[in-house]
Amino acid sequence: PEAPVLPFRVGHGWDLHRLEPGYPLIVGGVDIPHDRGCVAHSDGDVLLHTVVDAILGALCLPDIGQLFPDTDPRWKGARSDIFLKEAVRLMQERGYTIGNIDCTIIAQRPKMSPHKEAIRDNLCQMLGAHPSVVNIKAKTHEKVDSLGENRSIACHAVVMLLKQ
Ligand code: CDP
Ligand code: ZN
């Protein structure tokens, strides 16, 4: 059958990074003061990776690891906004725009609420979206498992794209 032209597309993204002392903690492009940060090939921005995968998933495109393999030296220490810019370009190329996006950061520490507005502003700018359609929230992991023991940080996101 012919490919349908969908007026809406829903995508889901998820990512997790190990936390270790001596690394920066960058979430949504914001440098967050903490006693540890993400061990990763790129800058380890768990929120941007999640959003990239949600957008790519909505478009039924290959995921972030397929588009930007961590075996490629080009992406070593890369700022994750490069990945998001590419996802947005692929989205626009197909005639879609952000309908809305809802993200949940899972971190036992640090408190994300003081940084949520800065993260939202950054994300809005990168996505070319209005703040009323970009939501950021955070949860602890009730002190259990690696997330709850502050040995990792994770993020979930759901995005809806609108055909222009
Ligand atoms: O009360 P409940 O178990 O549902 O949530 P929680 O994980 O205890 O988190 C309570 C509130 O703290 C959340 O609703 C967030 O607003 C905030 N929070 C945060 O700012 N940063 C985190 N790393 C975790 C939670
Ligand atoms: Zn990641």
pTM above 0.90, yes or no: yes
Q: Is the pLDDT of residue 135 over 90?
A: yes
* Short-list 101, 61, 52, 105, CA closest to 81: 52
State the CATH architecture for 8-163.
2-Layer Sandwich (3.30)
Which neighbouring-strand residues pair with 98? Answer: 161
The ligand that comes nearest to the alpha carbon of residue 68 is 2
Task: Please give all residues whose beta carbon lies within 6 A of any atom in ligand 1, as ranges.
Answer: 107, 111-113, 138-140
Mean pLDDT of 4-30: 97
Q: What is the mean pLDDT of residues 120-147?
A: 98
Q: Average the pLDDT over 23-40 and give the result.
A: 96
The residue whose CA has the least distance to atom 13 of ligand 1 is 139
Reported ipTM: the value is 0.83
pLDDT tens-digit series, residues 63-109: 999 999 888 888 888 899 999 999 999 999 999 999 999 999 999 99
Tokens representing 87? 């996802």
Q: What pLDDT score does 41 carry?
A: 86
Task: Please tell me the distance between residue 111's alpha carbon and the centre of ligand 1 in angstroms.
Answer: 8
Q: How many CB atoms within 10 Å of residue 94?
A: 16
Atom 22 of ligand 1: nearest residue by CA position: 111
Domain positions in the chain:
8-163
